[in-house]
Structures are given as C-alpha cells and as structure tokens.
Amino acid sequence: MPKTAKNNKAESLKPVTAPLLPADSKDSALTLRLHYLNPQDIDQIWEGYRYAYAAHDGVVRKTGEPYIMHPVSVACVLADLHMDVPTILAALLHDVVEDTSITTEDIKIKFGLQVAELVDGVTKLDKIEFQSASQAQAENFRKMLLAMSQDVRVILVKLADRLHNMQTLEAMNPEKQKLIAKETLDIYAPIANRLGLNAIYQELEDLSFKYLYPMRYSAISKAVKAARGNRKEVVSKILHSIKEQMQALNIDAEISGREKHLYSIYKKMAGKTTNFSQIYDIYGFRVVVKDLPSCYLALGALHALYKPIPSKFKDYVAIPKANGYQSLHTTLFGPFGTPIEVQIRSEEMHNIADAGVAAHWLYKSSDAQLTALQQQTHQWLQRLLEIQSESTDSLDFLEHLKIDLFPDEVYVFTPKGKILALPKGATAVDFAYAVHSDIGNSCVAVRINQELAPLRTELHNGDHVEIITGVIAKPNPAWLNYVISGRARAHIRHFMKSQQSADSAHIGERMLNQALRALHVDAASITEVHWQKLIRDYAVKHKSEILSDIGLGKRQNVMVAHQLLAMTDDHLEKHTKLPATSLDTITIRGTEGMAVQFAPCCRPIPGDPILGFINKDKGLVIHTHDCPSVRKFKLDPDKWLDVEWEPENQRLFKTNLNLTVANQPGMLAKIASGIADAGSNIDNVSVEEADGSAYANLYFTVQVRNRIHLAELMRGLRKIPDVVRINRAKGNPAGNGSRSSSQ
C-alpha cells in the first residue's frame, strides 16, 4: 500500500508533462530547463534530486502520482526563471524537513548552510501548537516573510510551490479549494506582483479566480474564446499597421498582441459594472524596442498612427512602479473606433517585467552589486521587518502585510524631489511614516503643493508633500481611522501600546503602594530580591509588566501586595511596619496619559466629586460620583478606588453643553464667539435637524479648566440674547437621551 503525503498536497505543474525519467536522462523536464548552468552545477542539482527521491520514496499524492513530481515541478518553475543552484536545490528539498525525518541540520551537512536556510524559510511551523488555524497561518506567513527579508529567494521558492499547488487543486475538496484560493489571492498573488513576477502573478490570480468563482470563470473564459474568432481580423489589422509604422520610421521593434488574463477582465467588468460585450480591450499590444530612447520614439510613432485617448497615458519609465516595473502605457483610438492598449518597453524592461526580482539571477554580474530593482525590493523587505518588530501579534502583522501589498499606488514627491510610492488612498500621515518613523511620530501639519492641509488629506499622483513636525508632538490614536499603510498603522499602534504600558505602570505602582500602606508596610522595604521572585512566579520579563497589569485592572493590587509580603523575612516584618492609616487616595492630574480615561458618559471635570473604576480593558476610568454608570460598579468595591483632583490644575477637560436657542441666522457664530471670550475651546458641535420650529437645540463639547470656569462660561452664554436654556449634559452631546443637570 503506497504512503500518502502528511500534508495531503495535491498539486502538479503544467510544464512538467513528461513522465518522471531517471536522474541521468538528458530528456527529463528538469534537465531541459537547466541549459544555462554548467555541467558541475547540473550534477549537484541531480544529487539533490536523488536525495529528495529517496526521502519521498513510496509516497504518492492525491492525484496518484509519485510525490517527487511536486518538488521537481517547483524546481522547473524556478529553472525557467534561471535561478541559481542553491534555489533549485531548495526547491527539490523544500518538503523533506516537513514530511520526513530528515532535519535542517542534515541538509546543512549535505548541501551547505545556504540551502539549509532556504529550506528552513519555506518549511511550515507544523510542530508548534497555536490557539487557532488563523493564528497558525499568520505565524507561518510571519516566519516566511522574515526569512524572505534575509534572502528573497525564500519567497521565490514559496511562490513556485504555491503555483504548483494551485495548478492541480482539483484533487482537493471544494471547501479546501476555496480556502487555498482565497489565501493565494489575498497574499501570494500580491507578493508575486510586488516582486515583479508578472507571469506567476497573473497565473495565480487566474487559478484563484477559477476556484473562488467557478461559474464566472467559466462564463468569461467561454466569452474570450468566442471573441478570439470575432476579433481576429481586427487584431491582425492593428498588428500589421503598427509593424508598418515602425518599419517606415526605422524603429527596430518586436510587436505582439496579448490577451488579458481572465481575472483582470473580471475586475474591469466588476469595477465598471459592465458586461463582457462592452469590454473592448481584452487584447493589448506590446512593442519591445532595443533601448530607452527608442521607447519614446515608438510612442510618437504610435500617436501619429492612431489618436491617443486623453488622460490614458502612463509613464512608468520615468517613474517606475515600486516593484521595478518600467513601461510606457498608452490607449489609442484604433480602427472601427475600438480602444486599444499598447505597452512600449525596452528589452531589459521586458525581462524585468516578466522575471521581476528574479531577473538579478538571470543577468547577474560578477561584482554582485545591487541593481535598482534589488534596492527597491530590499527597502520593502526592511519595511516588513519594521512592521513585524512593531507588531507583537501575528494576526496584526498579517493585517499590516495585506494593507502593504495593495497593488494600486500613488506617487508623490518629497521637498527634495525624491519620489515615494504609497498605497492608493494614503494620507499625509502615511507619507510622514514612509519618510521616517520619527517624522511620523512628531508630525503636526502638512503642506501639499505649498498649501497647508489637514493631516488626514488623501494624496494624489504628483503631489509635493512637506511634513511639519513639533518637538513635543506625539501620535494621535485618531490617525488609525484614516491611515492606509501597514508601516504607519504598526508604528502608531506600537506607540499607543508603549504609552499605555508606561502610563499604566505608573498608575499601577501608585495603586500597589496604596495597598501596601493599607497592610502597614513601607513600599521602599520591598527589595529587588522579592520582585525577582514574583517576576519568576508570574512568568513575566520585568517588574513593569506586573505594575502595568495592576494599572489596567488585570491584576488586583491587594493580591500582589499580599504575595510580595509572603516572600518577606522576619527582619522585614520587624522593621518596616507603619502605623495604621486609612487608604491613600490617588490624585488625578489629568496628565496621566492613556492609563487614565475620563468617562464619556459623565465627562468629569475638576471640582466634580469623582470615583475611579478599574476597567480590565481601559485601565483607570474616572466617573462623577452621581453617574448612573457607577451604580453597578459600587457593588464590587475591589474594582473602584478613591480618587481626588490635584489642586491648581490648569489642564483643559472636556464637558458637554446643551443649548436651546431662537432659530435665527448667526446664532451659532454668536455662541462660538461667547465660548472663545470665556477662554474655552470647542471640541465638537452638532445641531438638531430643523423641524420648522422657532427654536433649535445645539450640542457642544467644550474644554474647561474646572467647574468654576464652566460656571463662568455658562453665565456668559446666558447673556446672549435669544439663548433660552443652557444645561451641562451628562452624556454624549447629541441629545440622544442623555441626562442633563442645570448648573
């Protein structure tokens, strides 16, 4: 009875159609693709083949073929890209560690460190247990991309592996097919596009489309086949016209017609909500010339032949895509009024468009200097490293990765004229973080095309962007509502987590000291030895983690205090006891940062009697003592604390006001002026929808120093003619059932 592969893979590559031949056969599918290597290299690859053959001996795939066909097929894809020997060997051996008893160390001894590291980068984390399948998959991507950041060949092997998997996915059940196809469309196809591997990218998209939407795939596929015959004459005429035009102007060029891949046709139909008969550009034309100047000569020749469609010209030669792609794109009015798309590129650009980052191995130089494409790829991989260093959670990292893989991009200029590529929809904050994390963390304003604009402004192609920074500025959590790039989101979240942790540790320390004083113990007498033992018991790395957990309500200060005291010796007991005192109250300054939050249900301000409630998710939340929300909290005294305002606090605090005014022109301006005259600031304002009444309700969130300041503000507003009533609202300033109290 033949064995089956552990992970039940069911894949088989189209190029490998010949039966498996002996290792020394000159006609095998792999041998025919290795013509670019010297005989010694080919011998080394066949040694790897024999090693993999022995490791997988007797194992069959769901398709019924010998398992060795899978690694051979993956190697064929990479050989078509003219990859180097270690990459081909890694392709042959990539499943050996995962599916057999052979270890990475065995491969290192047999084939060297470089091959072993490539294999390890591709190998899944099957032996580690995760909380969920999604977390396991996210961690797999994280490990793979970290290995890729060290050596991009890891992802080339993985993409070839995934391509082969997709090509014979029919052996899987429909549910598994859709799962794998969705993953391929979300992650692998965009990565192939990001690396400029155009052929692999398009095939991965089409195969994913086939399994995710089989009916749509079938309908478009049939329509394209039918259109081939109908449009054959038109395509032939256009090709002939372009060739004649190039010859007449002595431009040496290769002209070809190409059919758009099915998924791109589907996206165009879905995006424009049109049917197939209205998609005229399922055929495109490609003009490949010898050098860069000839590209623009060919463009002029085409525009002389057919009229260009305005706004349909893109110059990716002067401004290449982030993946290194270069080409001139133009859309022309062809014969019979049919729009035709033409790409014009040099031979070198054409090779990079097909092979992308793999083109380095195809045209590797002896000095091994980084090409411009490699430098761009390296910068992108470094950004991935930065994102993963800021993301402690694998699912969080995967979310950032998906955002960063958006294929649509905008190109903007820095003040020094450098071009930055950003995801479509990126804002000024995304730009700031793309320049440098310190610029992003301290940005306060932006000039776009020499004009001041809000930080949330969306950027467009060609914008000149200048970021204005502040010395004491810091990221605003509201930025997460509109930033697009994974880099920006990761840095903002990292800052918020760090800030919250530091603020919570400070609050937690004050709460722990409070609990220790209640037990008549001086906090200074708790030594580092006691803390280190508690750190070991809690399995954390640092004392600040325990204090932060106390501040966030994840640990009780009284319990931690008792555990610390349980570790003390008699000497401590005799000399550190304090006289009995009542519990200290915690002073609220309003500058505690993210660890202390003021409840939006009651908006407490200095002068209000207040209570502190420990919320497990939000930390210390401050309520007014008469807030309806605290009634249920009072039933659990362990979760609330005595707090008081710091005297002479000059910080501004938010509070809500409801006003009823005569419905007359200029009332809003008068009230805004009155608020400004009182030294207050408007944080938010809303107006109740007009109902034809003579009066209107206005809802303000204003900033005041304390209750006295609020009283002065309200007295000033009452003096305004036609202000009928004014109340301080306990709740949101939208009038949605909030409780009000007269001041």
Which range (51-55, 63-67, 266-270, 312-316) has the least confidence? Answer: 266-270
Q: What is the pLDDT of residue 123?
A: 77
pLDDT digits (tens, 9 = 90+) for 378-414: 566 666 666 655 555 566 666 656 655 555 678 888 8
Q: Would residue 396 count as lying in a domain?
A: no
CATH number of 269's domain: 3.30.460.10
Same domain, 291 and 222: yes
Which range (209-218, 263-272, 274-283) has the least confidence? Answer: 274-283
Q: Are 195 and 357 in contact (CB under 8 A)?
A: yes
pLDDT digits (tens, 9 = 90+) for 353-363: 776 666 555 44
Same domain, 33 and 175: yes
Average pLDDT over residues 321-339: 79
Highest mean pLDDT out of 274-278, 400-404, 405-409, 540-544: 540-544
pLDDT at 9 over 50: no
What residues act catalytically?
A: 98-99
| pLDDT > 70 fraction of the chain, expressed in percent and rounded | 74
Same domain, 12 and 89: yes
Which single residue is written with the structure tokens 């508690």?
534
Q: Which residue has the higher pLDDT, 234 or 531?
A: 531
Same domain, 225 and 199: no
pLDDT at 352 over 60: yes
Average pLDDT over residues 183-189: 84
| Residue 629 φ/ψ, nearest 5 degrees | -70, -25
Q: Would residue 384 count as lying in a domain?
A: no
Q: What is the pLDDT of residue 433?
A: 92
Distance of CA 212 to the CA centre of its chain: 23
Q: Global pTM?
A: 0.59
pLDDT at 93 over 50: yes
pLDDT at 564 over 90: no
pLDDT at 443 over 90: yes
Same domain, 534 and 621: no
Same domain, 547 and 689: no
What is the domain range of residue 558?
493-584
Q: What is the pLDDT of residue 567?
A: 66
Q: Return d(Cα 707, Cα 728) in angstroms, integer.
A: 11
Average pLDDT over residues 119-139: 61
Last residue of some domain: 341, 362, 383?
Answer: 362
In three-state secondary structure terms, 9 is coil
CA-based nearest residue to 374, from 359, 353, 354, 385: 359
Q: Return d(Cα 194, Cα 432) in angstroms, integer.
A: 22
Q: Would residue 452 count as lying in a domain?
A: no
Same domain, 259 and 173: no
CATH number of 65's domain: 1.10.3210.10
Q: Return d(Cα 430, Cα 419) in angstroms, integer.
A: 14
CA-based nearest residue to 602, from 646, 682, 656, 653: 656
| pLDDT > 90 fraction of the chain, expressed in percent and rounded | 18
Checking phi first, is residue 453 left (phi over 0); if not, alpha (psi -120 to 50) or beta? beta
Q: Would residue 393 count as lying in a domain?
A: no
pLDDT digits (tens, 9 = 90+) for 202-259: 899 999 999 999 998 888 888 877 766 666 677 788 888 999 999 999 999 998 887 7
Same domain, 308 and 329: yes
pLDDT at 692 over 80: no
Last residue of some domain: 186, 212, 238?
Answer: 212
Same domain, 157 and 301: no
Which range (126-130, 434-438, 597-601) has the least confidence? Answer: 126-130
Q: Would residue 321 count as lying in a domain?
A: yes
Q: Are 123 and 366 in contact (CB under 8 A)?
A: no
Same domain, 558 and 602: no
Q: How confident is the model at residue 4 (pLDDT cuts 50, 70, 90)?
A: very low
CA-based nearest residue to 611, from 579, 591, 586: 586
Q: What is the pLDDT of residue 357?
A: 62
Q: Would residue 234 count as lying in a domain?
A: yes
Q: How confident is the model at residue 299 (pLDDT cuts 50, 70, 90)?
A: very high
Q: Which residue has the higher pLDDT, 297 or 127?
A: 297
Letter for the amino acid at 66?
P
Report the domain count for the chain: 5
Q: Would residue 641 count as lying in a domain?
A: yes
10 Å CB burial of residue 416 (0-12, 13-18, 19+) is exposed
Q: What is the pLDDT of residue 571?
A: 40
Q: What is the pLDDT of residue 28?
A: 72
Last residue of some domain: 179, 212, 245?
Answer: 212
Q: Which residue has the higher pLDDT, 649 or 720?
A: 720
CATH number of 727's domain: 3.30.70.260
Same domain, 197 and 278: no
pLDDT at 76 over 60: yes
Q: Would residue 49 count as lying in a domain?
A: yes
Same domain, 195 and 250: no
Q: Which residue has the higher pLDDT, 21 or 514?
A: 514
CA-based nearest residue to 52, from 69, 77, 30: 69
